[in-house]
Each structure stands twice: as structure tokens, then as C-alpha cells.
């Protein structure tokens, strides 16, 4: 058998689960097929966006010839180092949080909660490997897609090289994603650090962990590792964590962090990292003072860079910069034969579900839009997102300040979760449902929900916004009792009450007298 024309991949620790993962996503005995003819579509990158483009195009069942290229693990960040492993670890940490809160429910709290960190990480690896067959090279080959492992490089007007193979294409899609950036901190390379791409390789728990960055990734992992027994300090340059989220929502999460013993240091500027006899030392400035902290591991949870290197985009006339490939509202690059989707695109959302939605747009615009007619726009999407802390923060649409910046008069309805019966019964009253609507109208402009399962709740608002359903109709939707989503109905009912003006009340009173 011909030896593979690509680098072997290992994922530490190479136990049975990671071996299974690699066998699915980058089998070392894989032989790249021999290209024949011209491909209708060649996709570079087999993360969420690339896989959806390839599978969706092949699934049209109209005889298209499709190829996909991946230099590392198929499945991309989401499966391997993002959504899937992080949510597995978060779920384990939530069990600890629930156990420590057991007394609230009249249940005795164990004196010593035994946390088996290696078992937590093994569970994650097992579940990740179990899911991985969905994104496997074998499965995509079975869909009639030519799967090439190796680095893809544009070599001509309509050609891409992968190892010793040359692929000809009619259209191509760049879906190479992004990666964690190297932090610009003197000495940190010598000291060593973790990112989301390496933290899930841990098999032993670091007793002391510094997390750099108070954005979604940093906050999710900081809370999880704190609950799993680490002493955690979260270092953030902003004045409060999650500074892109609703400030009220961020305050709730930060208060939870304080209560759980997670040390949060704000307004800091990291200056250097050094190695001591007992650990890794981070030096930083805060409020004009020089400080330092010693830890066992450093997790960098801030900063992403687009994977644009090695593609030879200059030769293809594809504009890009360090933030990604430049695309228009139709996900078209500056080269009419090349589109892009997912985290590689500059200026667009960096979520798995956003990459999936973008991939669908690419399929429609590349293959189902003859002569450029009936093209689909990214700006038409209604995009929700969730920060999976406990409680979660979910958002869709505009924030209040964004509406005001666009000259839209906005009104806000806020329903605290301590007024929602199910949240009270669950002792989960920290949070709220906040809905922004156009003043004088029931049109929903945006919403933020803070609750343990806010990510499940936000879809009701997203569906309403996408289908142009206003608060009046939501108020008429029957919600089962008792559920925490009743907070959404309460917000809608609060809007409907505003329609009963003093004049309307007088008229109703008069009509009632007449009818009596």
C-alpha cells in the first residue's frame, strides 16, 4: 500500500479513546484518492463549515463531484478542542456545583466531595471519540466525497495541490478556521502554557491554574476547573468579565465566581512570565502597582488567529489579513470562483452554529444560484449565542446600546427569575429575561437570558425574531406550567399590559357598565 502523503497525527494521551478518535478523523493508513476530472467543488478545511458544505453539496444528489481537504483532524475545533470536550467537562463540573449546593434542597452535603479528575477527562475523551464517527474520513468517503488528508495549496487559476495530488475545480471554498494565538507576554514561551487546543489533553489536575482572558472561553473553563478542585485565578484586562455581554448578565456570573472562590483580577496588564522552583510566575500591572502570582499551569483563553497561511491566497487574488479572508454578504471572496465559510471569514460570528448556517449559504450561492440570481445573505441570519457558564448567558439580536447607535428608539422589559415559579422551586433565581423591543411596537430587537439553561430558552425568542413574531403573539402562546421559559411569556405579557392605556381603561369600564 502507498504510504500516506501527510503527517501522522497523535492526540495525547493516546489511549483507546484518542486512538479511536484519530482512526476516525485522520487515519494514518489513509490513501488519498486519485483525482479524476474536474471537481464541481473543492473544500479546504474539514471543520464544521467545510463538512457541512461537502456533505450538503453531495446530498443534493445531482451528480456533483465534491472533494474535501484536511491537514489535521476532521471535525475541526468544535469536535476536537472546542464545543464537545468543553461541554463534557462543564457537565462534570456542574455535578460538583449541584452537590455543593445540596443543603439548599434539604440534602446533606458530603464532607469531602471526591473529584476524580483523570476520570472526568477520560469520560470526555470517551464521549468525544463516540461522536467522532459522524465526522470521520470513512463516513464522508461513503457519501461519495473524495477525502484528501494533507495541506491544500492553490497552485493555479483552478488547481489545488495536496501532497502529490493536483485537484482541478470549478469552485472552491476556504473553510480553514482559526486557532489560538500565541500570547505576547515576555517569557511565556519558555515557561509553557495551555490553550483550548491542549487543555483537554490533561490527565492530572493542576492544583493552581491561571486563566488569561475573561471572555466566554476563559470564563467557562475557569469556572469548570475551579469546581473540579483547582485554585483558579482569572486575569482579565477589562473592568469586568464578559465585557461584550450585557453588563447586568456579566455581573451575575462574576458574583457567582466570587462566591465559588474563583479569584478574578480585573484591569490587569500582563508584563512577563518566569519560572520559579515551585511553579510558573505571571507578572502584571494592576491599578498602577506591580503584582505577581505563582501557578502550576497557565491557560490562555483569549485571542484567535485565522488560518490563512500556506494557502497561496495572494496568487489567487483573494484578499485577506490576520483577521481572516475578506468576504461580502454572500460569502464571496475577491476571487469569483472562491467562497469562504466559518471562522476563517473576517468580521463574522465565530460559533459552530454560525459556521453551519454560513455553509448552507455557500451551498446555495455556489451551486443553486444560476447566473447569480436568488443569492442568499449572511446579514439575513438571526444569530443567537450562549456562554456556557453556570448560570448561562444567552443572547440574540441587538443589545440596547446597538439599537440606540442605529437610531432606533428602544424599550426594555426585564423579568427577574426570582418572579418565575419554576426558578423559585429550583432555587435558581439568579438571572433574568431581558427583551428589547422597538418603542411603540411589539417588534423584538434583541434579548438576553441569564439562567442555568438559558441556551435552551433563547431559541423561542430566536424563532420569534426570525419569523417576525412580536411580543403580542408570544403572550398568547401557552407555556406549560411550571417552566423557567415562563419568564419569556411574562416579558410578553408585560408588553401587552402597556397597550391598556388610561383611555382604554375608561372605555372598557364604560362598556362593562353598559353590558352589566
Homologous superfamily of domain range 16-81+124-180+305-380: FAD/NAD(P)-binding domain (3.50.50.60)
Do 2 and 32 contact (CB within 8 A), yes or no?
Answer: no
Per-residue cell: 331: 460569502
Q: Which is nearest to 58 in space by CA: 374, 370, 363?
A: 363
SS percent in the chain: helix, strand, coil, step 5: 35, 25, 40
pLDDT the model gives residue 371: 74
Q: How many residues does the chain have?
A: 516
pTM for this entry: 0.95
Q: What are phi and psi of 58, to 5 degrees?
A: -65, -35
Distance of CA 390 to the CA centre of its chain: 16
- Cα-trace Rg, the chain: 26
- Fold match between domain 188-302 and domain 391-502: no
Name residue, grid cell 369600564.
509
For the chain, the distance separating the N- and C-terminal CA atoms, rounded to the nearest angstrom, is: 93
Quick one: pLDDT at residue 2? 47
Q: Can you give the residue ranges of every domain in the chain?
A: 16-81+124-180+305-380, 188-302, 391-502
Fold of 188-302: FAD/NAD(P)-binding domain (3.50.50)
Which residues are bridge partners to 68 per DSSP? 43, 147
Residue 111: its pLDDT value, please?
81
Q: Is 231 helix (H, G, I), strand (E, B) or coil?
A: strand
Q: Using an 8 Å Cβ cutoff, are 393 and 387 in contact?
A: yes
Q: Is residue 321 packed enough to be buried (19+ CB in 10 Å), middle (13-18) or exposed (0-12)?
A: exposed
Q: What is the pLDDT along the chain (516 residues), one digit of tens a residue?
A: 344 567 899 999 999 999 999 999 999 999 999 998 999 999 999 999 999 999 999 999 999 999 999 999 999 999 999 999 999 999 999 999 999 999 999 999 888 899 999 999 999 999 999 999 999 999 999 999 999 999 999 999 999 999 999 999 999 999 999 999 989 999 999 999 999 999 999 999 999 999 999 999 999 999 999 999 999 999 999 999 999 999 999 999 999 999 999 999 999 999 999 999 999 999 999 999 999 999 999 999 988 999 999 999 999 999 999 999 999 999 999 999 999 999 999 999 999 999 999 999 999 999 998 877 789 999 999 999 999 999 999 999 999 999 999 999 999 999 999 999 999 999 999 999 999 999 999 999 999 999 999 999 999 999 999 999 999 999 999 999 999 999 999 999 999 999 877 777 777 777 887 776
- The 3 state secondary structure assigned to 279-306 is CEEEEEEECCEEEEEEECEEEECCCEEE
Q: Which of 200, 245, 187, 170 is nearest to 92 (CA)?
A: 200
- Topology classification of domain 391-502: Enolase-like; domain 1 (3.30.390)
CA distance 238 to 213: 9
Amino acid at each position: 500500500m502507498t504510504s500516506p502523503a501527510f503527517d501522522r497525527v497523535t492526540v495525547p494521551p493516546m489511549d483507546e479513546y484518542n486512538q479511536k478518535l484519530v482512526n476516525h478523523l485522520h487515519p494514518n493508513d489513509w490513501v488519498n484518492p486519485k483525482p479524476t476530472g474536474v471537481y464541481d467543488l473543492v473544500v479546504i478545511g474539514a471543520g464544521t463549515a467545510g463538512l457541512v458544505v461537502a456533505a450538503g453539496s453531495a446530498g443534493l444528489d445531482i451528480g456533483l463531484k465534491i472533494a474535501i481537504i484536511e491537514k489535521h483532524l476532521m471535525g475541526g475545533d468544535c469536535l476536537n478542542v472546542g464545543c464537545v470536550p468543553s461541554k463534557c467537562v462543564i457537565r462534570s463540573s456542574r455535578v460538583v456545583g449541584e452537590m455543593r449546593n445540596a443543603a439548599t434542597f434539604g440534602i446533606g452535603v458530603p464532607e469531602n466531595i471526591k473529584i476524580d479528575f483523570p476520570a472526568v477527562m477520560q469520560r470526555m475523551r470517551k464521549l468525544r471519540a463516540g461522536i467522532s464517527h459522524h465526522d470521520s474520513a470513512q463516513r464522508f468517503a461513503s457519501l461519495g466525497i473524495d477525502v484528501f488528508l494533507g495541506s491544500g495549496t492553490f497552485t493555479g487559476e483552478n488547481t489545488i495541490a495536496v501532497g502529490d495530488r493536483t485537484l482541478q475545480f470549478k469552485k472552491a471554498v476556504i473553510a480553514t478556521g482559526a486557532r489560538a494565538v500565541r500570547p505576547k507576554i515576555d517569557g511565556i514561551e519558555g515557561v509553557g502554557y495551555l490553550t483550548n487546543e491542549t487543555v483537554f489533553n490533561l490527565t492530572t489536575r493542576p492544583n493552581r491554574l491561571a486563566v488569561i482572558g475573561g471572555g466566554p472561553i476563559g470564563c467557562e473553563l475557569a469556572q469548570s476547573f475551579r469546581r473540579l478542585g483547582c485554585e483558579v485565578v482569572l486575569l482579565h484586562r477589562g473592568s469586568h468579565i464578559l465585557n461584550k455581554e450585557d453588563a447586568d448578565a456579566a455581573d451575575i456570573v462574576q458574583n457567582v465566581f466570587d462566591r465559588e472562590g474563583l479569584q478574578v483580577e480585573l484591569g490587569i496588564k500582563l508584563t512577563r512570565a518566569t519560572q520559579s522552583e515551585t511553579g510558573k510566575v505571571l507578572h502584571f500591572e494592576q491599578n498602577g502597582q506591580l503584582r505577581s502570582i505563582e501557578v502550576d499551569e497557565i491557560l490562555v483563553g483569549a485571542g484567535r488567529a485565522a488560518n490563512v497561511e500556506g494557502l497561496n491566497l495572494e496568487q489567487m487574488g483573494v484578499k485577506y489579513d490576520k483577521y481572516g479572508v475578506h468576504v461580502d454578504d454572500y460569502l464571496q471572496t475577491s476571487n469569483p470562483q472562491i467562497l469562504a465559510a466559518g471562522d476563517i471569514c473576517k468580521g463574522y460570528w465565530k460559533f459552530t452554529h454560525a459556521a453551519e448556517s454560513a455553509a448552507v449559504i455557500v451551498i446555495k450561492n455556489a451551486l443553486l444560484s444560476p447566473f447569480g440570481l436568488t443569492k442568499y445573505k449572511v446579514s439575513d441570519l438571526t444569530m443567537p449565542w450562549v456562554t456556557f457558564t453556570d448560570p448561562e448567558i444567552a443572547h440574540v439580536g441587538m443589545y440596547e446600546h446597538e439599537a440606540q447607535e442605529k437610531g432606533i428608539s428602544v424599550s426594555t422589559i426585564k423579568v427577574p427569575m426570582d418572579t418565575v415559579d419554576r426558578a423559585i422551586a429550583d432555587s435558581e433565581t439568579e438571572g433574568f429575561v431581558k427583551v428589547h423591543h422597538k418603542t411603540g411596537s411589539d417588534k423584538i430587537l434583541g434579548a438576553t437570558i441569564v439562567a442555568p439553561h438559558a441556551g435552551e430558552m433563547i431559541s423561542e425568542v430566536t424563532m420569534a425574531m426570525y419569523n417576525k413574531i412580536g411580543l403580542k403573539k408570544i403572550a398568547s402562546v401557552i407555556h406549560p406550567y411550571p417552566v423557567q421559559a415562563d419568564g419569556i411569556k411574562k416579558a410578553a405579557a408585560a408588553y401587552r399590559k402597556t397597550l391598556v392605556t388610561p383611555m382604554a381603561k375608561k372605555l372598557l369600564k364604560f362598556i362593562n357598565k353598559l353590558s352589566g
